């Protein structure tokens, strides 16, 4: 005959096992929910810290084209029309569309740029070359690979081409500095073509590049602004 205390112990252990089986799945769901809320809160805080580009007061809404990816994530870009109160100033207009591109589409699977990346500065030089300075997250948070890196740059250049006709070429900096590559593959020492019309009429370069000199001056401007 089993002593009574052993029976009580066995019953208690069985009850504990049943309670754990019921409790831990619920706990797991709560932990996952908290993690999702934390991620959303961090993303929301990041966006609130990035000041929106100034817009023309009382300006009409404009149908801007954003070039985001697709759920297939195969490098295909899709134009999405977004109503924005875009500024007439090309620099402010470029900042607006790029910040919208960084904010991402409704479908997070169609993102082309990391959610924690930010646009730090943007200039347009007299010859139509734009200089965009992004935070380090653009290179560190993007999936490494030529396709994902090329898709990111293509989404930036095509969005600028569709909304800011003054931009003909684009130089990308990371935290005010020229870097060798975006995430190990795509060469960032080059200047990317934005306007297809400008590419058709661009003369062959001879000697020192007429594009490089003003870009170097823009580097110095950005470095000075970063130090301040």
The answer to whether residue 98 is domain-embedded is: yes
Distance of CA 104 to the CA centre of its chain: 7
Convert the pLDDT of each residue in 82-141 to its tens digit: 999 999 999 999 999 999 999 999 888 899 999 999 999 999 999 999 999 999 999 888
Higher pLDDT, 50 or 112: 112
End-to-end C-alpha distance for the chain, whole angstroms: 84
- Range of the structural domain that residue 208 is part of: 59-227
Q: How many domains does the chain have?
A: 1
Convert the pLDDT of each residue in 174-203 to its tens digit: 999 999 888 788 889 999 999 876 555 444
The answer to whether the CB of 80 falls within 8 A of the CB of 162 is: no
Report phi then psi at 24, rounded to 5: -65, -40
The answer to whether residue 107 is domain-embedded is: yes
The answer to whether residue 31 is domain-embedded is: no
Sheet holding 192-193, edge to edge: 119-124, 129-134, 169-174, 192-193
Convert the pLDDT of each residue in 35-44 to its tens digit: 555 554 444 4
Which pTM value belongs to this model?
Answer: 0.66
The answer to whether residue 49 is domain-embedded is: no
């Amino acid at each position: 005959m089993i002593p009574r205390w052993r029976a009580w112990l066995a019953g208690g252990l069985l009850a504990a096992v049943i309670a754990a089986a019921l409790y831990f799945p619920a706990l797991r769901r709560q932990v996952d929910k908290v993690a999702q809320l934390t991620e959303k809160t961090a993303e929301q805080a990041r966006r609130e810290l990035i000041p929106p580009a100034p817009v023309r007061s009382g300006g009409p809404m404009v149908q801007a084209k954003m070039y985001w990816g697709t759920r297939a994530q195969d490098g295909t870009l899709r134009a999405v029309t977004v109503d924005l109160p875009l500024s007439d100033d090309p620099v402010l207009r470029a900042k607006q569309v790029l910040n919208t591109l960084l904010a991402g589409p409704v479908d997070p699977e169609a993102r082309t740029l990391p959610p924690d990346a930010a646009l730090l500065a943007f200039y347009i030089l007299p010859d139509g070359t734009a200089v965009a300075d992004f935070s380090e997250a653009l290179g560190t948070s993007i999936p490494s690979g030529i396709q994902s890196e090329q898709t990111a740059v293509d989404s930036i250049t095509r969005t600028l081409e569709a909304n800011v006709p003054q931009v003909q070429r684009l130089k990308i900096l990371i935290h005010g500095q020229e870097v060798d590559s975006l995430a190990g593959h795509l060469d960032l020492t080059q200047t990317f073509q934005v306007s297809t019309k400008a590419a058709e009429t661009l003369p062959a370069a001879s000697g020192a590049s007429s594009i490089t000199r003003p870009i170097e001056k823009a580097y110095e401007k950005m470095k000075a602004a970063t130090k301040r």
